[in-house]
């Protein structure tokens, strides 16, 4: 007789469980045994992982950015090292045949600088450099940034303005499956059959107002900036997520230690009744005895009682080591040098600082290039089309594709050891192992700008009769009579002999 289905399933389950309990697998990380039973992991799509947590992660990252000094410092380091004090510069590199089109390049540079140095936002508040600082910080804090391109904007001569849209307005709970010709909507982003964004559904106001409505912005008018961690990820996640818990715990721990240390610095204690005392109970006294912990004051102990001091020992001896270890973990999550994040140069050698600085700069350069790819290139394309259309940029052709060859030049860094690295650069150039263009680019400088400035210096020096080194330049005018070198040497020798005899 065949066993019932539920008994057969139960037997199969028990057999599989016994096998699973003893299984370690080929890969240790995939093993299921008593040491890893608390390691719970699920296989879900990127959007499923993000959808449920994105709002809370964003809110907590913003709170840390406001109140946690280490997270706030990281945001400032990010903006300073990626955008820099002068911003990301644009340099047109249009060619006419085999020669640079200097006229077109100068016109593009001039028009771009005129637009970027004036307010570029629809509210007329921020220049491009300040707007890019805000956008980069928003990408790091919120995990993403949305910028609407207002083409045909009448507020400036170039016909283009920018509007930053809060990520809270793109509802991550708004989802719709694909049906027939109807596009799918993932967390407020409408996508086509191949996963390309078609547009974005935006709330018209912030909050929980029941009267608010969504409106649609086509993808051609929106730049969605984020750094995906997985393929097919529709929305971005804050860069703070991996350090969020230790940063919050460290902040709370430091606060607790500070409070405990303040209490410990005050003389405090308890009144304890002696066994042989006949005094009444202080607890029943309508005016119970209390002690004010004021520096330099002494209280009188009530009759029949004795004072027992309470002296908490804070901060503990392990406080500095614990803080340092936690900050190292946070710095690793941000991929920055611990000593820079914590402003701690104690016990760090010059060679160590130099090695870590070089590694850290590669991370900053990577973020610079990502920012240029996802933001600057499409922004320049939108600006160029509108500038040619409005006539604020006048070139021989109105076809934007002819003038797309530009270089977005981010900030560089000065050499850590200028003398040694300058000598190494000279040797490399002399032996054909490097170029002036490359070495100047590492410092964020352009060879054409450097040569032009050198030419201006030389012309100015010639006008004043000087060389770049400060020596007098020979002129056509007759020189005054001067003693010969041999005569001058002889006079100096005679003066030395006279001083020696005296």
Q: pTM, whole model, 2 decimals? A: 0.76
Domain end position, chosen among 411, 446, 466: 411
Q: Are residues 105 and 33 in the same domain?
A: no
Q: How many domains does the chain have?
A: 2
Name which residue leads in pLDDT, 340 or 15.
340
- Residues 136 and 153: beta-carbon distance below 8 Å: no
Q: Are residues 17 and 117 in the same domain?
A: no
**In 3D, which of 112, 115, 116 has the Cα closest to residue 129?**
116
Element (H, E) at 165: strand 160-165
Q: What is the pLDDT of residue 25?
A: 57
In a domain, 175, yes or no: yes
Q: Are residues 162 and 37 in the same domain?
A: no
Alpha helices in 431-470 (DSSP H): 436-442, 447-463
> Highest-confidence range of 7-11, 35-39, 130-134, 249-253, by mean pLDDT?
130-134
In a domain, 419, yes or no: no
Question: How many residues does the structure list for the chain?
Answer: 502
Domain end position, chosen among 369, 387, 411: 411
Q: Are residues 301 and 351 in the same domain?
A: yes
Mean pLDDT over 42-48 rounds to 89
In a domain, 229, yes or no: yes
Q: Are residues 233 and 375 in the same domain?
A: yes
In a domain, 215, yes or no: yes
Angle in degrees, CA 217, 218, 221, rounded to 5: 90
pLDDT at 342 over 50: yes
pLDDT category of residue 434 using cuts at 50, 70 and 90: confident
Q: Are residues 30 and 99 in the same domain?
A: no
pLDDT at 497 over 50: no
pLDDT at 59 over 70: yes
Q: Are residues 142 and 236 in the same domain?
A: yes
Q: What is the pLDDT of residue 54?
A: 95
Report phi then psi at 146, rounded to 5: -120, 125
In a domain, 450, yes or no: no
For 348-376, the pLDDT digits (tens) are 777 777 788 888 999 999 999 999 999 99
Domain, as residue range, for 28: 5-41
Report phi then psi at 109, rounded to 5: -60, -45
Using only C-alpha atoms, what is the Rg of the chain? Answer: 35
Q: Are residues 28 and 70 in the same domain?
A: no
| Segment among 80-84, 283-287, 355-359 with least mean pLDDT | 283-287
Q: Are residues 34 and 112 in the same domain?
A: no
For 393-407, the pLDDT digits (tens) are 999 988 889 999 999
In a domain, 237, yes or no: yes
In a domain, 90, yes or no: yes
Q: Are residues 114 and 200 in the same domain?
A: yes
pLDDT category of residue 2 using cuts at 50, 70 and 90: low
The residue to which tokens 């032996």 are assigned: 431
In a domain, 496, yes or no: no
d(CA 150, CA 146): 13
Domain end position, chosen among 364, 396, 411: 411
pLDDT category of residue 464 using cuts at 50, 70 and 90: confident
Q: Are residues 22 and 161 in the same domain?
A: no
What ranges make up the beta strands (E) of 363-467?
A: 406-409
Q: Are residues 348 and 246 in the same domain?
A: yes
């Amino acid at each position: 007789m065949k066993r019932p289905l539920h008994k057969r399933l139960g037997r199969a389950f028990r057999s599989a469980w016994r096998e699973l309990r003893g299984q370690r697998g080929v890969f240790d990380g995939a093993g299921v045994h008593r040491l890893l039973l608390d390691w719970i992991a699920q296989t879900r799509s990127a959007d499923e992982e993000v959808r449920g947590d994105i709002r809370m992660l964003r809110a907590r990252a913003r709170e840390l950015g406001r109140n946690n000094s280490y997270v706030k410092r990281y945001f400032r380091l990010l903006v300073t090292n990626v955008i820099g004090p002068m911003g990301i510069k644009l340099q047109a590199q249009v060619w006419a045949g085999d020669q640079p089109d200097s006229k077109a390049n100068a016109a593009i540079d001039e028009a771009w600088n005129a637009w970027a140095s004036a307010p570029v936002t629809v509210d007329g508040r921020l220049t491009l450099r300040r707007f890019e600082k805000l956008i980069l910080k928003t990408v790091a804090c919120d995990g993403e940034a949305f910028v609407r391109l207002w083409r045909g904007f009448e507020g400036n001569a170039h016909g283009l303005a920018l509007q930053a849209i809060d990520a809270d307005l793109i509802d991550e709970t708004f989802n719709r499956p694909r049906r027939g010709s109807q596009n799918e909507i993932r967390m407020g982003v409408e996508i086509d059959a191949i996963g390309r964004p078609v547009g974005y559904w935006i709330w018209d106001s912030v909050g929980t107002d029941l009267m608010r409505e969504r409106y649609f912005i086509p993808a051609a008018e929106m730049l969605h900036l984020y750094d995906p961690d997985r393929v097919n990820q529709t929305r971005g996640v804050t860069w703070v997520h991996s350090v969020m818990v230790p940063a919050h715990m460290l902040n709370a721990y430091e606060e607790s230690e500070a409070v405990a240390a303040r209490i410990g610095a005050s003389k405090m204690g308890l009144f304890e009744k002696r066994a042989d005392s006949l005094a009444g109970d202080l607890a029943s006294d309508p005016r119970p005895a209390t002690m004010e912990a004021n520096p330099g004051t002494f209280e009188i102990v009530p009759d029949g009682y004795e004072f027992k001091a309470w002296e908490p020992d804070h901060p503990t001896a392990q406080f500095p080591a614990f803080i340092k270890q936690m900050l190292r973990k946070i710095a690793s999550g941000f991929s920055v040098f611990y000593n820079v994040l914590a402003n701690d140069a104690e016990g760090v050698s010059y060679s160590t600082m130099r090695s870590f600085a070089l590694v850290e700069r590669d991370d900053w350069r990577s973020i610079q290039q990502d920012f240029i790819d996802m933001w600057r290139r499409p922004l320049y394309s939108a600006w160029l089309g509108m500038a040619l259309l409005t006539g604020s940029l006048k070139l021989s052709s109105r076809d934007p594709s002819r003038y797309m060859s530009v270089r977005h030049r981010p900030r560089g860094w000065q050499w850590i050891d200028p003398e040694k690295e300058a000598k190494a650069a000279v040797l490399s150039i002399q032996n054909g192992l490097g170029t002036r263009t490359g070495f100047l680019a590492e410092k964020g400088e352009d060879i054409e700008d450097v040569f032009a400035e050198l030419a201006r210096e030389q012309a100015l020096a010639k006008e004043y009769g000087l060389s770049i080194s400060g020596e007098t330049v020979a002129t056509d005018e007759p020189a005054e009579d001067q003693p010969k070198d041999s005569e001058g040497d002889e006079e100096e020798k005679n003066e030395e002999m006279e001083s020696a005899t005296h």
